[in-house]
Amino acid sequence: MAERLKFWGWGREGEGPDDAALNRIAQSLGQRFGRELELVAPPRIDEIALRPPRLAPPPALREILSADPHERARHTYGRSYRDIVRTLARDFREPPDWVAFPRDAGDVAAVLDWCSASRCAVIPFGGGSSVVGGVEARLGDAYAGVVSLDLARLDRVLEIDRSSRAARIQAGILGPALEDALRPHGLTLRHYPQSFEFSTLGGWIATRSGGHFATRYTHIDEFVESLVALTPRGRLETRRLPGSGAGPSPDRLFLGSEGALGVITEAWLRLQDRPRWRARADALFASFEQAVAAVRALGQSGLEPANCRLLDADEAASAAGGSGEHALLLLAFESADHPLGPWLERGIEILRDHGGRVQEQSAREQSDDGGARAGAAGTWRSSFVGAPYLRDGMVRMGVLSETFETAVTWDRFATFHAAVIGAAREAVREHCGQGRVTCRFTHVYPDGPAPYYTVLAPAERGRELEQWDAIKARVSEALIAHGGTITHHHAVGRDHQPWYTAEAPALFRSMLAAAKREVDPAGILNPGVLVDVT
Ligand SMILES: Cc1cc2nc3c(=O)[nH]c(=O)nc-3n(C[C@H](O)[C@H](O)[C@H](O)COP(=O)(O)OP(=O)(O)OC[C@H]3O[C@@H](n4cnc5c(N)ncnc54)[C@H](O)[C@@H]3O)c2cc1C
């Protein structure tokens, strides 16, 4: 039987590097930071004091509600650095009072009815992989109680329409189960966020998640053909259409609604045939600027590479075995339909035109899409998959390890990047004394990149949240001031709300608040996310 999910960190119990491996990493990082790093033990559930549930549920709902301490603790936080710091500090001061596991839409509606009538907040919960405080009940006593509404039991692919190449899928399904169900039909959603294994379709739709493909179909937005959402005012189902010009799109209102407007219970998704042809090349660049110019040219070439990931020299050293002197560009193409030799050739020409030194290249037919990749791309891929476990280990050793991400147009990129990485490095020096900030591009559009920054610094035990919040505030100010977005794919949640308020037009925010009042008159749905609590 599969192990239980950890209540405090990434993955299942027993998964991730063991203490011996973490101690080796602690030693080498300790040497770098000039201090001794000691591992704190992960929390055990019997060490956690949870306040008793503040309200009693109606008997009819008892069957789907749990007050089990492991479940309440697991649903208290998402999986950001801030969250792991608090779980390791055994700080679970605002757990949900109950965790609901609805079996069907009727159960979801019953929970919404009960909570609307008793002013109890409802926080929809998919995989709980939010990194922006999206699933956390940071509500004090403003509500009579809080229910975490976990959609894990709504986990099936219900219908496949082969001719339109689409499927009707329940919102609580996790990435691997979704792909397992589509594989026998030769189909794939081909949406792979880094959190794929422990995040759900409903969570992806509610947060407008970004998959790891660099261009073209990468946001979940592109795949949603229609959806069903349950609100306290009733059920809403949008029409299945390949496209429509009939007014503002109702799907779009729910994409990115982060549980504040309704509970997404199922959706029709556009699928793709499984890729057969692959081609890839890795190139080194003497300067980050040259590599950026190459990425822009590739992004505007119409080649639409599946991967076009640029790692600055420091990031290439830590994540892909680089020397620390060169920026690294990982370029890849995929197709279910045709060999990719010409695409690769033209891509390589562009890399060379911008000073890129091609290290490795290959173009072949390869139907196994889970297979090992060679060279720098292979090293990068395994560090990508293992990163969340390692991050938890680093927090255990007292290292600040967190990321922030954004997108900006090409005309602003150079000034923007200098200002943002400058602000981050200055804030890290000021609050941690030393540390490293690196950059990679996760997505590339014809009109601009989505840069993703990683911060690694020695933290002070007991002051981790204060340190990170100060750094995060400084970089968030810089992102907004220089024309970027507060988030390209991590969503708004509670953590980004002040900068979302600065980014989204005031009149639009009033429209959103009015829409929320219409579907959620008691204001119970994920309060404080997107729309301020009134
Ligand atoms: C290690 C790691 C890597 C990550 N990598 C990526 C990445 O590559 N790309 C990316 O986009 N994000 C990434 N994330 C962030 C996170 O995984 C995404 O935001 C993901 O879409 C959340 O899905 P979830 O099912 O875990 O949702 P949850 O975390 O459970 O919920 C997220 C938000 O959506 C709401 N919600 C969840 N389900 C529903 C529903 N059915 N109806 C209505 N509202 C709902 C919640 O209330 C909450 O506001 C990463 C996070 C971690 C920890």
Taking CA atoms only, the protein residue closest to ligand 1 atom 44 is 259
Determine the residue type at 346: R
φ and ψ of 285, to 5 deg: -130, 140
Which residues have CB under 8 Å from 514's CB, separation 6+?
Answer: none
pLDDT, position 370:
47
- For residue 388, the ligand 1 atom closest to its alpha carbon is 1
Q: Residue 453 Cα, ligand 1 centroid: separation in angstroms? A: 19
Q: Where are the beta strands (DSSP E) in 416-474?
A: 436-445, 448-458
Three-state SS for 12?
Answer: strand
Write down the residue that tokens 């403003």 correspond to: 142
CA distances from 398 to 6, 81, 82, 284 (A): 20, 11, 12, 33
Distance of CA 115 from the midpoint of ligand 1 (Å): 23
Which residue puts its alpha carbon closest to atom 8 of ligand 1? 193
How far, in Å, is the centroid of ligand 1 from the Cα of 267? Answer: 16
- Residue to mutate, 101, 130, 390, ligand 1, most ligand atoms under 8 Å from C-beta: 130
Contacts of 264 (CB under 8 A, 6+ apart): 124, 171, 202, 205, 206, 227, 228, 229, 254, 257
Question: Of 450, 448, 449, 426, nearest to 437 (Cα)?
Answer: 426
Contact 340, 277 (CB under 8 A): yes
Kindly give, in sequence order, each residue whose CB lies less than 8 Å from that of residue 473, ignoring residues fewer than 6 positions away. Answer: none
Distance CA 326, CA 356 (A): 10
**Dihedral sign, CA of 136, 213, 307, 447?**
negative
Find the angle CA(269)-CA(75)-CA(82) to the nearest 5 degrees. 100
Two tokens, residue 83 = 């969250």
pLDDT tens digits in sequence order for the chain, 534 residues long = 578 999 999 999 999 999 999 999 999 999 999 999 999 999 999 999 999 999 999 999 999 999 999 999 999 999 999 999 999 999 999 999 999 999 999 999 999 999 999 999 999 999 999 999 999 999 999 999 999 999 999 999 999 999 999 999 999 999 999 999 999 999 999 999 999 999 999 999 999 999 988 788 889 999 999 999 999 999 999 999 999 999 999 999 999 999 999 999 999 999 999 999 999 999 999 999 999 999 999 999 999 999 999 999 999 998 888 889 999 999 999 999 999 999 999 999 999 999 999 998 888 777 655 444 666 667 767 777 789 999 999 999 999 999 999 999 999 999 999 999 999 999 999 999 999 999 999 999 999 999 999 999 999 999 999 999 999 999 999 999 999 999 999 999 999 999 999 999 999 999 999 999 999 999 999 999 999 887
Atom of ligand 1 nearest to the CA of 79: 53
Among protein residues, the one whose CA lies closest to atom 11 of ligand 1: 209
Tell how far the Cα of 199 is from the centroid of ligand 1, in angstroms.
6
Q: Which residues of 230-269 are buried (b: 16+ CB within 10 A; e: fewer)?
A: bbbeeebebeeeeeeeeeebbbebbbbbbbbbbbbbbbbb
Ligand 1 atom index nearest CA of 210: 11
SS3 of 336-378: the string is CCCCCHHHHHHHHHHHHHCCCEEEEEEEEECCCCCCCCCHHHH
Of the candidates 289, 286, 297, 276, the residue with the CA atom closest to the CA atom of residue 322: 286
Taken in order 389, 390, 394, 400, the sign of the CA dihedral is negative
Fill in the amino acid letter for 20. A
Which of 129, 148, 191 has most ligand 1 atoms within 8 Å of its beta carbon, as the pocket-test mutant? 129
What gap in Å lies between CA 84 and CA 8, rounded to an integer? 7
Give the residue among 54, 193, 62, 257 at the shortest CA–CA distance from 137.
54
The closest-lying atom of ligand 1 relative to the alpha carbon of residue 254 is 43
User: H helices of 237-355, where?
Assistant: 250-254, 288-299, 313-320, 341-353
Name the burial class of residue 300, with classes exposed (0-12), middle (13-18) and buried (19+) by CB atoms within 10 angstroms of its CB: middle
pLDDT for res 371: 46
Q: Whose CA is nearest to atom 21 of ligand 1?
A: 204
Q: Pocket residues for ligand 1 (CB within 6 Å)?
A: 78-79, 123-131, 134-135, 151, 171, 193-195, 199-200, 202-204, 206-207, 209-210, 258-259, 263-264, 388, 489-491, 526, 529
| 184-to-9, 187, 188 alpha-carbon distances in Å | 33, 7, 10
Token duo for residue 217: 């179909």
Nearest ligand 1 atom to the CA of 130 is: 29
Separation of alpha carbons 351 and 355, rounded Å: 7
Distance of CA 128 from the midpoint of ligand 1 (Å): 6
Contacts 24+ apart (CB under 8 A), 373-377: 373/280, 375/282, 376/282, 376/316, 376/320, 376/321, 376/322, 376/328, 376/330, 377/280, 377/282, 377/307, 377/320, 377/330, 377/332
Distance 203 CA to ligand 1 centre (A): 5
Atom of ligand 1 nearest to the CA of 262: 43
Structure tokens at 265: 């219970």
CA-to-CA distance for 358 and 271, rounded, in angstroms? 33
Cα(407) to ligand 1 centroid in Å equals 19
pLDDT of amino acid 21 = 96
